Structure 1
Amino acid sequence: MADIFFGVILYLINLILISEFVRQRTNSKGLNFSFLLVHYHLLIGFYYGWFAKGTDTSFYWNLGDKFRHFNFESWWDAYGTHNYFVFFINYPFSRTLGLDFWTGTFLYASVSAWAFILLFLAGQDLLKTNKVSLQGFNIWPYILLLPSLHFWSSGIGKDSLVFLFMAMFFYGIRDLRKYVFLVFLSAVLLYHVRPHMAFIVLLSSSVMLIIDSKLHLSYKLVFFAIAMVGFVLIYDEVLKFLKIDELNAENIESVFNTSSGNLSYGKSFVDMSGYPYPLKVFTFLYRPLFFDAHNFTSFLNSIENLIYLLLTIIIFTKVNPIKGYQKAPNAIKIMFLTFLLSSIAFAGAMSNFGIIVRMKNMTFVYFLIFLIYIYQVHLLERRQYIIRKITEAQKRKVTMGRKAG
């Protein structure tokens, strides 16, 4: 009974909050699409709960399992980073209220749906349009409906939290003056779940914001101070996570080799030991493809990866990505840098398609936004060029008519 009551109240509160939040920032079509995103995410969240029940999702919700049991006498005993922070979040719902696994699944899917709301609104603002079409297909905002984006970001655990906190960060980084608290809060939360991702996000943001000539010096100094403190704290956590004494090429290569060896199991294993690094990055971004598919899930991933690959090829043949990057606003540049750094970092350590898809999912959506942005700018410039040529031709025609008269 408590589960039903909690679920109904959560659903109603979430719909009201989304309605009020979105209504102030977009039109009625945007509001309807936001509700579509939420219910689509909830549906896939329950599918993920069924798919993953008994694995890490149950481990996180039950605060342990028969192999790894944790005795927390109070809520604050669960506080920590990595797995412990997930326990800390789940404790009041799982242990105190005694809610079951499916209510926890609904809770995580309801909260993580906000990531897509924020991505949609950020995209609407950065793209300055309601839709972007390519080869006759509307790729924005419908690219946000690709199943794997929702599948890996809707379940109980770290993946959905990381996806949400990163969406919060990038939503706020568009206007640091207005959303400085949201940026700070999301960075702190991201640090608690995956310190190495917080390190990458802060590094990307620091590079762009500090060299931004439009940002006032006081904001640069504040962000620089926060970033430096964050780097000091996160650096030690990253070293502990990687189990090394310092960051250098030799230690990082050792970590990559160890991680690759640890992940070399199952039908989804791919041996990339002999691959040149660019091919490892390509594998990380665009595989599995159809020849790699070994079950229905990997077949669906293959379809989406083919879409990603075709989208990249088509847009990069029309737009110079370097010039497109130079024209992009800082928020887009930070998104792209975060995607690029994480892809380069993880590509060398992954050798299992299941892990690859999960890790890629955290940042690949920002590459998609980058692609759509530079393509939209290309379309706008081409349209302006055509209008300018038509206007010049009309002026010449009028001039020649006057001379003839």
Structure 2
Amino acid sequence: MGDIFFGIIMYVINLILISEFVRHRTNSNGVNFSILLVHYHILIGFYYGWFAKGTDTSFYWNLGDKFRHFNFESWWDAYGTHNYFVFFINYPFSRTLGLDFWTGTFLYASVSAWAFILLFLAGQDLLKANKVSLQAFNIWPNILLLPSLHFWSSGIGKDSLVFLFIAMFFYGIRDLRKYVFLVFLSAVLLYHVRPHMAFIVLLSTSIMLILDSKLHLSYKLVFFALAIVGFIFIYDEVLKFLRIDELNVENIEGVFNTSSGNLSYGKSFVDMSGYPYPLKVFTFLYRPLFFDAHNFSSLLNSVENLICLLLTIAIFTKVNPIKGYQKAPNAIKIMFLTFLLSSIAFAGAMSNFGIMVRMKNMTFVYFLIFLIYIYQVHLLERREYIMSKIAFAQKKRDAIARKVGG
């Protein structure tokens, strides 16, 4: 009974928040799309719960399993980074309230759905458009409905939290003065779940904000100081995570080789040991494709990867990505840089399609937003060019008419 009551309360709160938060930031169609995102995400979340029940999702919700049991006498005993922070979040719901696994699934899906609402609102603001079409297809905002984006970010565990915290960070980074607390909070939360991702996000942001000619020097100095402090704390956690003494080329290569060897199992294994690095990155981003599919899940991933590959080719053949990047606002640049750094980092350590899909899911959506942004800029410039040509031709006709009339 308590689970049902909790679920109803969560659902009502979500609808109220959408009404109060989203309604003031978009139009009625945007509110409807946000409601669709929430229900769609929750539906896929329950499918993920069924798919992954008994694995890490149950381990996180039950605060351990028969192989790895943790004795937490109080809530604060669970506090820590990595797995412990997930335990810390789950403790009051799982241990104190005694909610079951499916209620936990609904809780995670309801909360992580807000990642997509924030991405939608941020995209509407950055794109300055309600929709963007390519060959009569509305790629924005419909790209946010790709099933794998929701599948890997809806279940109980670190993936959902990381996806949400990164979305919070990028929603706030659009206007650092207005959302500085949200940016700070999301960075701290991200650090607690996956310090190496916090490191990549903060590194990308630091590079862009320090190089930004429009940002006042005082803001640069403040952010630079905060970034240095953040890196000092995160650096040790990254070393612990990678199990190395210091960051250097030799140690990183060792980590890649070890990770690749540990993941060389199952039908989804792909041997990339002989691949040049650009091909490793391509494999990380766009495979499995149809010739790699061995079950329904990999077949579905193949369809999505083909869509993303065709979208990338279609836009890159129309738009110079370097020039598009140069014209983009800082928020888009930071999104793209985060995607690029994480892709380069993870591509060398992955050799299993299942793990690749999960890892790329954290940042790939920001590459899609980058693609749509530079394509929309291209459309606007092309429209302005055509309008200027029409205006020039009209002026020429008017001049000829006046000369003939005179």
Q: Aligned letter for 1:138? A: N
2:152 is matched with: 152
Deviation at residue 218 of structure 1 after TM alignment: 2.4
2:331 is matched with: 331
1:206 is matched with: 206
CA distance in 2, matches of 1:227, 1:170: 16
1:275 is matched with: 275
2:181 is matched with: 181
CA distance in 2, matches of 1:222, 1:64: 41
1:376-391 matches, within 5 Å, as 376-391=376-391
1:162 is matched with: 162
Residue by residue, what CA displacement relative to the aligned partner does 1:346-367 show, whole Å, maximum 9, x if unpaired? 0000000000000000000000
1:255 aligns with 2:255: yes
Q: Aligned letter for 2:120? A: F
Q: Aligned letter for 1:398? A: D
Q: Could you tell me whether the CA contact under 8 Å between 1:162 and 1:190 is conserved in 2?
A: yes
CA distance in 2, matches of 1:338, 1:402: 58
1:26 is matched with: 26
1:219-230 matches, within 5 Å, as 219-230=219-230
1:343 is matched with: 343
Query: Unpaired runs of 5+ in structure 1?
Result: none
1:351-390 matches, within 5 Å, as 351-390=351-390
Q: Aligned letter for 2:108? A: Y
1:7 aligns with 2:15: no
CA distance in 1, matches of 2:373, 2:162: 24
Q: Aligned letter for 1:387? A: M
Deviation at residue 256 of structure 1 after TM alignment: 0.1
CA distance in 2, matches of 1:252, 1:19: 47
Deviation at residue 322 of structure 1 after TM alignment: 0.1
CA distance in 2, matches of 1:273, 1:19: 51
Question: Which of 335-344 and 8-17 deviates more?
Answer: 8-17
2:102 is matched with: 102
Q: Aligned letter for 1:369? A: I
Deviation at residue 401 of structure 1 after TM alignment: 1.2
1:126 is matched with: 126
CA distance in 2, matches of 1:312, 1:105: 34
CA distance in 2, matches of 1:285, 1:368: 12
SS of equivalent to 1:178: coil
SS of equivalent to 1:177: coil
The total of aligned residue pairs comes to 405
CA distance in 2, matches of 1:135, 1:257: 43
Q: Could you tell me whether the CA contact under 8 Å between 1:177 and 1:219 is conserved in 2?
A: no
1:171 is matched with: 171
Deviation at residue 84 of structure 1 after TM alignment: 0.3
1:53-92 matches, within 5 Å, as 53-92=53-92
Deviation at residue 224 of structure 1 after TM alignment: 1.2
CA distance in 1, matches of 2:211, 2:261: 40
1:303-342 matches, within 5 Å, as 303-342=303-342
Q: Percent identity over the alignment?
A: 90
CA distance in 2, matches of 1:283, 1:331: 27
State the TM-score, normalized to the length of structure 2. Answer: 0.99
SS of equivalent to 1:133: strand
Q: Could you tell me whether the CA contact under 8 Å between 1:75 and 1:91 is conserved in 2?
A: yes
1:136 is matched with: 136
Deviation at residue 212 of structure 1 after TM alignment: 1.3
1:243 is matched with: 243
Q: Aligned letter for 2:252? A: I
Deviation at residue 404 of structure 1 after TM alignment: 1.6
Residue by residue, what CA displacement relative to the aligned partner does 1:2-61 show, whole Å, maximum 9, x if unpaired? 100100011101110121000010000000000000000000000000000000000000
Q: Aligned letter for 1:186? A: S
Residue by residue, what CA displacement relative to the aligned partner does 1:54-82 show, whole Å, maximum 9, x if unpaired? 00000000000000000011100100000
CA distance in 1, matches of 2:216, 2:37: 36
Q: Aligned letter for 2:16? A: I
CA distance in 2, matches of 1:153, 1:290: 24
Residue by residue, what CA displacement relative to the aligned partner does 1:59-109 show, whole Å, maximum 9, x if unpaired? 000000000000011100100000000000000000010000000000000
1:290 aligns with 2:310: no
CA distance in 1, matches of 2:19, 2:43: 19
SS of equivalent to 1:168: helix
Deviation at residue 216 of structure 1 after TM alignment: 2.2
Q: Could you tell me whether the CA contact under 8 Å between 1:325 and 1:333 is conserved in 2?
A: yes
Deviation at residue 223 of structure 1 after TM alignment: 1.3
1:266 is matched with: 266
Query: Unpaired runs of 5+ in structure 2?
Result: none
SS of equivalent to 1:395: helix
CA distance in 2, matches of 1:226, 1:158: 25
Q: Aligned letter for 1:208? A: M
Residue by residue, what CA displacement relative to the aligned partner does 1:212-271 show, whole Å, maximum 9, x if unpaired? 122222222221111111100000000000000000000000000000000001110000
CA distance in 1, matches of 2:130, 2:307: 21
